[in-house]
Amino acid sequence: MHRAPSPRAVEPTTRHHRTAFSGPGLRRRLLAALVTIPLALAAAACGDDGGDSASDPNKPVELSIFWWGAEGRAKLTEDALALYTKKHPNVTFKKTWQANQGYFDKLATLTAGGDAPDIFQIDDNYLTEYASRNVTLDLTSYKDGGKLDLSKFPSSLVNYGIVDGKLAGVAFGENTQGLVYNKTLLDKNKLPAPTTGMTWADFITWAENVSKTAKVPGTQDPSADYKAFWVWLRQQGKDLYKDKALGFTEQDVAAWFELWKGARDRGATPTADVIHEGNVTDISKQLVVTGKAGTSWVWANQMPELKKNTKDELGVVAYPGDPSAQWARASMYFSVFRGSDKKDIAVDVINFLSNDPEAAAVLGTDRGLPSNLDIRKAVASTVSDANMKVAIEVQTELGAKFGASPQVPLKGHSKVRAELIKAAEEVQFGRQSPAEAAKAYFAIAQAAIGQA
């Protein structure tokens, strides 16, 4: 198995390659020759949803775990895992972490090689992609059997991890949409702050007023931002997805683009190139931080990180419109690899990280508000970062108004997101009318999720 493939393994394929289209027999031979090597992996890659074969519970075990994030998250996660090892000295961890750039490329490569980590972090962008291909272990039986205790989780947060009836991931942190504004700028110009519940029309008027008075564009244009579009859709009684289809119509997209075209025409937003800058930038260069706009559209728990990059005071409220359209979103999940041979322990680790007061206290609010409500309360009372406090307050206040969470985004979600940016920018740069862009976008989005 560990020898180099002999040239002979390759030769027949080169010889047959011209005729490879001609029949299934030859095709199979081609495949056989090429996949001699990888096929051996198949056994490793296909797992099942059952538990581990019974074995000595005190046998030394090394679990691999993989997450993205920055140094701060790495420290906290490592400390929390060390607590687990302290309680279960036979369990150690092979920890891999990196920033989000390239994270999913590496995860896909490892998964394709049958080598996915026992536990890996994932977000709602990819959860369905992985779950629908049976990469993630269905945790339902663990939940029902009491080995995975999600009883203290808000039910909407548990549900936001269910794909096709299978519990594919455990939410590690809750967040929700937050509109962050530059408080210092508003105070200096004696302008009122935006409020939760103000209508979209009122908000745009408010932003226009900020632009006129403060000489800084009132708000980043969120027309390219899927999460703003999503909230707005839910306020119209629509959704981003419904079952296996899009939850909106072409007309909805056009109306959304039209709304923001109006705002741009009234000077409520920056120019198209600055909007683009805001669309593609990372969290530290959001327009509200760089002083190029009065507000930015982010997740509420990103507030403290935004604050680190500016001297100005920041505030956060819900997105405009009815706040009950917002929901408790799992900022990220941990999932267990279905092909792992240490599933039971992996689930136990996730259970520990979610519910153990000591471990959860270590993890704090780094991934979002703790999912376990008891722990959330405890953590909230000990948070010292003033901006995190504000974020928690706003989120807790909104939490009382949250509606039911939507279904987990479908396969193809990342394309649906990327294409919205493109379509919105076509309108922003004045290259297409809202109707044209909406038409093109709707067709591409439908194709992306495989909707006929």
Partner 1 sequence: MSRRFWRVVVLVLILAVVLYPLLWMLGTSFKSREEIATNIGLWPEVFTPANFREGWQNFDVSFGRFFANSAMVALLTVVGNAISCLLAAYAFARLRFRLRKVWFAVMIGTLLLPGHVLIIPQYVLFKQLGWVGGDWPYLPLLVPQFLATEAFFVFLMVQFMRGIPYELDEAAKIDGASPYTVFAHVIVPLSRPALVTTAIFSFIWTWNDFFRQLVFLSDLQDYTVPVALTLFIDSTSESAVGPMFAMSLLSLVPVFLFFVAFQRLLVEGINTSGIKG
Partner 2 sequence: MAISTAPPAAPPAGSASPGPASRRGRGGPRRRENIAGYVFLSPWLLGLMGITAVPMLLSLYLSFTNYDALSDFSAVEWIGLDNYREMFTADASFWHAVRVTVTFALVAVPLKLAAALGVALLLNRAFRGVGLFRGLFYLPSLLGGSVALAIVWVNMFNRDGAFNSLLGLFGIEGAPWVNDPRFALETLMALAIWQFGAPMVIFLAGLKQIPVELYEAASVDGAGPWRQFRAVTLPMLSPVIFFNLVLETINGFQGFTSAFVLSNGTGGPVDSTLMYTLNLYIKGFTELRMGYASALAWVFLVAIALITVVLFSTGRFWVHYADGEDR
- Least distance (Å) from partner 1 to the CB of residue 35? 9
Binding residues with partner 1: total (CB under 8 A): 51
Distance CA 80, CA 73 (A): 11
Closest distance between partner 1 and the C-beta of residue 430, in Å? 27
- Judged by beta carbon, residue 309 or residue 414, the one nearer partner 1 is 309
Counting beta carbons within 10 angstroms of the beta carbon of residue 450, is it exposed (0 to 12), middle (13 to 18) or buried (19 or more)?
exposed
Question: Backbone phi, then psi, for 106, in 5-degree steps?
Answer: -70, -40
Binding residues for partner 2 restricted to 385-414, rule: CB under 8 A: 412, 414
Q: Please state, in angstroms and rounded to a whole number, the distance separating the CA atoms of residues 421 and 394.
A: 28
C-beta of 238 vs 422, nearer to partner 2: 422
Residue 65, strand partner residues: 95, 119
> How far lies 102's CA from each of 14, 59, 127, 130, 396, in Å?
33, 34, 17, 16, 33
Which parts of 298-372 fold into alpha helices (H)? 303-307, 343-355, 357-363
CB of 395 to partner 2, least distance (A): 27
Tell me the closest approach of the beta carbon of residue 29 to partner 2, in angstroms.
12
Of residues 48-67, those binding partner 1 (CB under 8 A): 66
CB contact set of 226 (below 8 Å; sequence gap of 6+):
240, 416, 417, 420
Cα–Cα distances (Å) from 373 to 317, 327, 355, 395, in that order, read 22, 16, 10, 13
Residue with Cβ nearer partner 2 (17 or 308)? 17
Count of residues interacting with partner 2 (CB under 8 A): 56
Residue 324 contacts which entry, partner 2, partner 1, none (Cβ below 5-8 A, type-dependent):
none
By a kind-dependent CB cut-off of 5 to 8 A, residue 415 interacts, out of partner 1, partner 2, none, with: partner 2
For position 110 contacting partner 1 by CB under 8 A, the verdict is: yes
Residue carrying structure tokens 């299978």: 166
- By CB under 8 A, tell whether 4 contacts partner 2: yes
Does 450 sit near partner 1 (CB under 8 A)?
A: no
Q: At 229, which amino acid appears?
A: F
Site string for partner 1, 12-31 (x = CB under 8 A): --------------------
Q: Is 288 exposed, middle or buried (0-12, 13-18, 19+ CB in 10 A)?
A: buried
> Number of helices (H) and strands (E), helices first, in the chain?
21, 14
Strands 119-122 and 61-68 turn out to be parallel
Q: Interface residues for partner 2 in 79-118 (CB under 8 A)?
A: 101, 104-105, 108-109, 111-114
Question: Applying CB under 8 A, does 70 fall inside the site for partner 2?
Answer: no
Task: Select from 24-32, 184-192, 233-241, 330-338 the region that touches partner 2 (CB under 8 A).
Answer: 24-32
- Please tell me whether residue 425 binds partner 2 under the rule CB under 8 A: yes
Binding mask 73-92 for partner 1 (x = CB under 8 A): xxx--x--------------
The residue among 160, 173, 122, 103 whose CA lies nearest residue 366 is: 173
Which of 123, 208, 348, 426 touches partner 2 (CB under 8 A)?
426
Asked if 438 and 269 count as a contact pair (C-beta separation under 8 A), the reply is no
**Using CB under 8 A, which of 1, 2, 18, 21 touches partner 2?**
21
The candidate with the shortest Cα–Cα distance to 69, out of 97, 95, 94, is: 97
Question: Considering CB distances under 5 to 8 angstroms, the limit depending on partner class, which of partner 2, partner 1, none binds residue 10?
Answer: partner 2
- 99 belongs to the binding site for partner 1 (CB under 8 A): yes
Residues of the shown chain interacting with partner 1 in the complex, contacts defined by CB under 8 A: 1-5, 37-38, 40-41, 66, 68-75, 78, 94-102, 105-106, 108-110, 112-115, 282-285, 289-291, 302, 305, 308-311, 366
